[in-house]
Amino acid sequence: ANRGEIACRVIKTCKKMGIQTVAIHSDVDTNVHVKMADEALCVGPAPTNKSYLNMDAIMDAIRATGAQAVHPGYGFLSENKEFAKRLAAEGISFIGPDTHAIQAMGDKIESKLIAQAAKVNVIPGYDGVVKTAEEAVKIAKDIGYPVMIKASAGGGGKGMRIAWNDEETREGFRLSSQEAASSFGDDRLLIEKYIDNPRHIEIQVLADKHGNALWLNERECSIQRRNQKVVEEAPSTFLDIVTRQAMGDQAVQLAKAVQYSSAGTVEFLVDSKKNFYFLEMNTRLQVEHPITECITGLDLVEQMIRVAKGYQLQHKQEDIPINGWAIESRVYAEDPYKSFGLPSIGRLSQYQEPLNLTNVRVDTGIQEGSEISIYYDPMISKLITYGATRAEALARMEDALDHYVIRGVTHNIPLLREIITHPRFISGDISTNFLPEIYPDGFKGHQLEVDERMELLASAGALYITAQLRSQKVLDNLRVSTTPTECSHWELCVEMGEGRHTLEITKSGNVYTVEVDGVKVEVSGQWNLASPLLPLVINGTKRMLQFKVRVLSKLAAELNSYMPEKVPEDTSSILRSPMPGTVVAVSIKPGDTVAEGQEICVIEAMKMQNSLTAVKQAKIKSVHCKPGETVGEGDLLVELE
């Protein structure tokens, strides 16, 4: 009952176990999981409420195919007790916990009370459902700012807002309840104390129907944007044996308190003094489960299927090892230069995974030619690397990101690479505020050192000349027999960023000597112009390159100076959509006067709601969008006078 990479992941284990599979899909989503399964059925049109959340259509598909069990993956109906009840009523196994555990842990208010009773540390907060924005303000004042407003039925960062004052509490209440209603069909909210600068560390648990439960070590998930994880690792650099044991024991206490059976995850916030507080329990397989599989050697999907069938766990707590170190980077179709990642859509015109490297795993549900649409999560893949030590796993991750080829959509690999090579990340000094602290003005990309700039310019010049020389030949012979002997000296102009650089290039055999701004750089390598990756040796150092710069001949550069420059658009009196999506609400009409920072409209893309605000006080001249409309990136929404 899922799609994308998690459906592919489940199908892989089913094949290994000799179990036949059925994929469900929407009419725009016939991707890899549909091709991998033994059978596939369409359950409705693209919007999730008409397909992947459409229980009637999914139940019809189960009956039509005679399916005996459902693995719900994560997201969608994976933590929906009604779906689990409907399956149970028809004698279909739900590969997950029973409805009692889903209900108890899925409701953040009830789960907190159960956790307290099970002697699990909890965050101070209000234990009831908050009905109105004004009630939210009163409760927030009682607890003391800052507070976290979050959806009772939520997960995955949806329906969560941090508020530092009354006004933010009112706005957070409204946006969170809307997001919660559209993501989970349940707009109930709760409020708790927000712990500043925490780490987000979770414990993987595994329990059977015979009262046995284990904890499978922790995962460090502190690198987040908009409360969604970006980079995870196992184990954590922060935990010592005593804290790990205490967290594991409490996670198992909680699982036993709700008679939990299956794989589940107990999430904790950990402060700088290693105090830990229960956050929530996810009664499903987590996105980041592969890193636990790497360090324990267990196949969690296989364990879930065995438990659902009624088998006892095969392992005891003392059998669970920590072997080596694993890191996961979530590769998203997002523009990391906009709020650390606003959704990007398009077709993957070129796609090449770095699977030629050792100890690299890629969990994905797409392939070259796949379409990334506005309807679903923007994840392209999960890139996992494994090593005997953390340093080894990090070096592999850097290598893997450099070898990953994605064209056709904007992606977040530049951000991922900057995170894993940042000194603070390498030293393990991280918290959930890592990204805003490191990049207070937003992510601007890798800032090139002088040497790196020289190497990149020299490589671009050498590649341009290689392409020019190749275009003169057919089957290794010159196109025109009267062409004079090959030239071996060139002058070029390379545009990079805002700057222009003059290059002088000479060639001897396979080696180019490039003079950039008075500095000589030697570049050599196998010049395969058909490959999207360019392995070169630059000044004796091996480099793997993917880049995009503009190279002009000397004459073209001179003529280019006469071209009129495009004047940047004045955006102070217009509002354009920063991303593709659906207009959920329009809060103004022509003739209204708006204040700076006032909400103009809300756009939903890939299950996240984004409030767009006025950049100045002005009168609304015209409105070019209405609720329910689909808009593209850069589309005009509102004009101001």
Q: Is residue 355 part of a domain?
A: yes
**In this structure, are 551 and 587 located in the same domain?**
no
**Measured CA distances, 318 to 217, 240, 247 (Å):** 12, 17, 16
Q: Is residue 245 part of a domain?
A: yes
Q: Where are the alpha helices (H) located in 297-372, listed in sequence order? A: 300-309
The pLDDT assigned to 375 comes to: 85
Q: Is residue 269 part of a domain?
A: yes
* Residue ranges making up the domain that contains 579: 574-640
**In this structure, are 581 and 510 located in the same domain?**
no
**In this structure, are 137 and 91 located in the same domain?**
no
- Where residue 249 sits, what CATH number does that domain have? 3.30.470.20
Q: Where are the alpha helices (H) located in 154-240, listed in sequence order? A: 166-184
For the chain, count helices (H), then strands (E). 17, 38
- Where residue 34 sits, what CATH number does that domain have? 3.40.50.20
- Which phi and psi (to 5°) does residue 383 adopt? -100, 120
- Which phi and psi (to 5°) does residue 4 adopt? 60, -150
Distance CA 178, CA 190 (A): 14
**In this structure, are 468 and 554 located in the same domain?**
yes
Q: Is residue 223 part of a domain?
A: yes
- Please say if 170 is a catalytic residue: no
The pLDDT assigned to 155 comes to: 65
Distance CA 195, CA 129 (A): 20
**In this structure, are 176 and 219 located in the same domain?**
no
Matching residue, tokens 């409209």: 601
Distance CA 452, CA 203 (A): 41
The pLDDT assigned to 515 comes to: 95
Asked if residue 612 lies in contact with residue 600, where contact means CB atoms within 8 angstroms, the answer is yes
**In this structure, are 314 and 425 located in the same domain?**
yes
For 205-228, b/e burial (b = at least 16 CB within 10 A) is: bbbbbeebbbbbbbbbbbbbbebb
- Where residue 499 sits, what CATH number does that domain have? 3.30.700.30
Averages of pLDDT over runs of 10 residues in the chain (641 residues) are 90 97 93 95 92 96 97 93 95 95 88 94 83 92 89 73 93 87 78 88 98 97 92 97 97 97 96 90 96 98 98 96 97 91 89 96 95 88 98 98 96 97 97 94 91 93 91 73 70 86 91 92 90 92 87 89 86 88 92 91 84 90 93 92 87
The pLDDT assigned to 579 comes to: 87
**In this structure, are 43 and 150 located in the same domain?**
no
Longest dimension (CA), the chain: 90
Total of domains in the chain = 5
Q: What's the token pair of residue 559? A: 């003529």
DSSP 8-state symbol, 238: S
The pLDDT assigned to 154 comes to: 67
**In this structure, are 71 and 43 located in the same domain?**
yes
Asked if residue 52 lies in contact with residue 24, where contact means CB atoms within 8 angstroms, the answer is yes
The pLDDT assigned to 103 comes to: 92
Given the residues 9, 188, 225, 284, the one annotated as active site: 284
- Where residue 594 sits, what CATH number does that domain have? 2.40.50.100
Q: Is residue 293 part of a domain?
A: yes
- Where residue 139 sits, what CATH number does that domain have? 3.30.1490.20
**In this structure, are 544 and 596 located in the same domain?**
no
**In this structure, are 433 and 454 located in the same domain?**
no
The pLDDT assigned to 547 comes to: 78
**In this structure, are 175 and 284 located in the same domain?**
no
Q: Is residue 112 part of a domain?
A: no
Handedness of CA 355, 357, 358, 364 (dihedral sign): negative
Tell me the whole-structure pTM to 2 decimals: 0.85
Distance CA 115, CA 218 (A): 19
Q: Is residue 108 part of a domain?
A: no
Distance CA 143, CA 392 (A): 44
Q: Is residue 378 part of a domain?
A: yes
Distance CA 225, CA 174 (A): 21
- The strand pairing partners of 178, in sequence order, are none
**In this structure, are 58 and 19 located in the same domain?**
yes
